[in-house]
């Protein structure tokens, strides 16, 4: 199983979109400071994820989500997944 995910840095109000085969490991990796871009905005929280059977599908969806480059689009996706949980926005 492959996943497209969105992380949020509560301290900095930033989002990060990526894909992975293991959500738990990827979140730990981002919060460990090993990623050049995400280490500046630690700590990260997983706020959204979609699953796909194939890696190619996950990569395609990640590129699609990144192409929007819209905070409103990202926050609307998160709200649809977690309608009763506004703390992520």
- Ordered by start, the domain boundaries in the chain are 2-88
Handedness of CA 37, 26, 45, 2 (dihedral sign): positive
Q: What span, in angstroms and rounded, lies between the C-alpha atoms of 11 and 82?
A: 20
Q: Select from 3.30.310, 3.30.300, 3.40.1440, 1.10.1060 the CATH code of 2-88.
A: 3.40.1440
pLDDT tens for residues 20-79?
Answer: 999 999 999 999 999 999 999 999 999 999 999 999 999 999 999 999 878 888 888 888
DSSP string, 18-34: EEES-HHHHHHHHHTT-
What's the pTM value of the predicted model, to 2 decimals? Answer: 0.85
């Amino acid at each position: 199983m492959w996943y497209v995910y969105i992380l949020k840095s509560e301290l900095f109000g930033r989002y990060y979109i990526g894909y992975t085969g293991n959500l738990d490991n990827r979140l730990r990796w981002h919060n460990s400071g090993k990623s050049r871009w995400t280490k500046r905005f630690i700590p990260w929280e997983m706020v959204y994820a979609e699953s796909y059977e194939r890696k190619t599908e996950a990569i395609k969806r990640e590129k699609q989500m990144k192409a929007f480059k819209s905070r409103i689009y990202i926050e609307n996706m998160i709200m649809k997944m977690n309608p009763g949980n506004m703390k992520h926005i």
